[in-house]
Structure 1
Amino acid sequence: MSDQSELQKLNAKLDSLLELIARAVPAKAPAPDWAAADAFVWAPADGALQPVPKVNRVDIALLRAVTHVRDLLLDNTRRFAQGLPANNALLWGTRGMGKSSLVKAAHAAVNQNSSAPLLKLIEIHREDIDSLPALMDLIRPAPFRFIIFCDDLSFGEDDTSYKSLKAVLEGGIEGRPENVIFYATSNRRHLLPRDMIENERSTAINPGEAVEEKVSLSDRFGLWLGFHKCSQEDYLEMIAGYAAHYRLDIEDEALKALALEWSATRGSRSGRVAYQFIQDLAGRLGQRLD
């Protein structure tokens, strides 16, 4: 009787232990439903991809004044979708000039012109870069091709996660999966603040090697696309393109005058400023941007 009682106590303890383990170890996330969408957001806490039924983007034809970089990225994306060699891409430069818009527009344009769209867009947030290996394991066996997209990518002084990104892009043993390409946008050409690089130069035993370690991250991107300050001519070209696309009921001269006044009050010209003006103008005209 005593032995049976001890056995019951032991079983109860084992049940409690198993329950604690079950709570501590998260359940394996279900396989992604690739048919749910063409775009997803990576949620590392759940180890899952959240589908995005409707992506916030503009038609690629509306991206004016960046035609050269637009065509380069579109061609790179198209070759990747066709299974041909293509490069990781870093879109860097002036904010508001359409870097992230171009990535999303290129993805849509390639799928739109394909009889059987096989290209998926996955957005990973900057703070989740350390989870890239887990994401790669999830999508490596999938029968699709993937653009991993990180918007506004940069690293601070005490941030070492850039080493994980370097390994995933090309430096690891497994390397980048053949069905994956990485696109990132940044205001910095080398992704790291200049004072961080200079600090490494001044404090390292071998300054040259330290700086090389920092700068070599951007070298993992074979395609560098620079976005520069917007001229008045470029700005007005963007305005005219938006106004024609949305069929805004306004005379050309009045449109130009209002657009210049808008940019003057903002103290800047960019694609973002141009679209914000169009939103304001459409509202005042009582027209929808459909």
Structure 2
Amino acid sequence: MNQITSSHQSLYSQISSLLLYQSVFENEVGEAFLNLLDSLSYPEDDHLNLDCLIAYGEWFNALANHQKSWQDYLTTEILLNTNPFSEQIQSVTLKELPNSLIEATKHDLTILQTVYHCQPQQIAQWLQDTIKTYSSALVWELENKDNTFLHKSDNWEEVIEDLANYYRQQGTGIFAQYQALKWYDDQLIGITNPDPIELSEIVGYEEQKATLIKNTEILLAGYQALHVLLYGSRGSGKSSLVKGLLNQYSNQGLRLIEVSKSQLKDLPFIVDKLRNMSQKFIIFVDDLSFEEDDDAFKSLKVVLEGSITAKAQNVVVYATSNRRHLIKEYFGDRPQLSEADEVHAWDTVQEKLSFSDRFGLTLTFEPANQDKYLTIVHHLAQQAGLNLPQEELDFKAKQWATKHNGRSGRTARQFIDFLQGQLAISGL
């Protein structure tokens, strides 16, 4: 392993010579670190000594805010970094990149490895050496939790292929930082705490689940997957099933983007932003239905059917709805024999009714009967580790469904959550 032999002045100069990864230090922790190195470079002076102490405190505070070791923070920033190498390598091989870009990447990785091996204990020692009258500095020490190829390598120049593969699968920037995102105020926003639901928690609709999983795996394999409409009764697990896909396949480059019905007008623009990314995207639209002459209907239709612009092979729309026919139809829509009516009025009606057919797959989630409801309850109770006798569990579950929201997967989940809390506080 390389050992740090250069002074803080030399380290500051090396960081200043970065060609591609300068923005690794354009953040709270990085800027505090550079400010500390700069402060330590001044000659001894009482006022400047105070600046050193303040700069060290700011760097310590910044690391504490992020609850990461210095090494973990640095490698995370490298893996998230957006630069010409990390962007271009997502669509081409290393051999197809200009040699000067590869050499610049290796140059920067060598410098960043030097910074990586600069331990907080050594930085604290630099502070003591600069301020002779300062006896000791508290060191920020936290165990490294990440276990990436950067942590394992003794020579970062040799991991450039691993780094390229990481960027291809996980992307950079917001797509590497977040698995779930939402479209808000004309931009993508990362969701810090996405729903942790797992596919194994969803039972009772095995055929629908298997079909959706297969379609998603086709997407991940790089083939043309189908847009999917998940239609059926409320509380049947349609939305949970889509969210569970993210937790199953995010490590394979799957990303979930939530778009509300009111934002569907932006859908063609969103798809254009995603089409050249190496990740695969599910655009998730929950509780979908349209009013007559809804502009959102036209925007979604463009994405589902395509336009003069080619379809994006890495993007699919998964929408849930309680309505089989997504556009509300009124009796007034039915053709009437009147001169004021449209001549081919039935064509308009049929376009409305057939809109759901534009989804390549329609998965139907029928209401849960008692057997299916109890099957879901038993499965969730087993996962929660509840040891009630089955007869007692079934009786309580049926009572709950009668008094609350009827038989459904959602009702079963609510019942188990309540029962688990009730038993816990009762000491049972």
Match of 2:249 among 110, 114, 117: 110
1:182 aligns with 2:320: no
CA contact (8 A) 1:201 1:210 kept: no
Q: What amino acid is the match of 1:39? A: A
Q: Aligned pair 1:65/2:204, yes or no?
A: yes
CA 1:32/1:169 → structure 2, altered by over 3 Å: closer, same or farther?
farther
* Distance across 1 between alignment mates of 2:182 and 2:381: 32
How far has the Cα of 1:217 moved from its partner?
2.2
Partner of 1:199: 333
Larger C-alpha radius of gyration, 1 or 2? 2
Equivalent residue letter for 1:128: Q
- CA distance in 1: counterparts of 2:190 and 2:407, whole angstroms: 34
Q: Which moved more, 1:64-73 or 1:102-111?
A: 102-111
Going from structure 1 to structure 2, the CA distance change for 1:83 and 1:200 (only over 3 Å counts) comes to farther
Structure 1 residue corresponding to 2:349, chosen from 183, 198, 211: 211
Deviation digits for residues 251-286 of structure 1 (CA, Å, limit 9, x no counterpart)? 222111100110111261001111111111011111
Gaps of 5+ in 1: 1-29
* Identity percentage of aligned residues: 37
Q: Distance in 2 between matches of 1:83 and 1:140?
A: 12
Match among 207, 231, 239 for residue 369 of structure 2: 231
Higher percent of residues as strand: 1
User: Who is 1:279 aligned against?
Assistant: 417
Alignment of 1:14-163 (within 5 A): 33-43=174-184, 45=185, 47-111=186-250, 117-163=252-298
Larger mean CA deviation between 185-194 and 31-40 belongs to: 31-40
The structural deviation recorded for 1:164 is 1.3
- Give the equivalent residue in structure 1 for 2:408: 270
Structure with greater proportional helix content? 2
What corresponds to 1:23 in structure 2?
none
2:389 counterpart (241, 245, 251)? 251
Distance 2:299 2:262 in 1: 12
1:152 CA displacement:
0.4
CA contact under 8 A between 1:167 and 1:175: conserved in structure 2? no
Q: Deviations over 1:230-251 (max 9, x none)?
A: 1100000111111100102422
Determine which structure has greater relative contact order: mean sequence separation of CA pairs < 8 Å that are 6+ residues apart, divided by chain length.
1
CA distance in 1, matches of 2:342, 2:196: 44
Q: Give the distance between the partners of 2:392 and 2:350, measured in 1 at CA.
A: 53
Q: CA deviation at 1:90?
A: 0.2
Q: Partners in 2 of 1:279 and 1:171 — Cα distance?
A: 43
Q: CA deviation at 1:201?
A: 3.8
**Residue correspondences, number:** 251
After alignment, is 186-195 or 52-61 more displaced?
52-61
1:110–1:191 distance in 2 versus 1, CA, 3 Å: same
Give the structure-2-normalised TM-score.
0.56
Q: CA deviation at 1:222?
A: 0.6
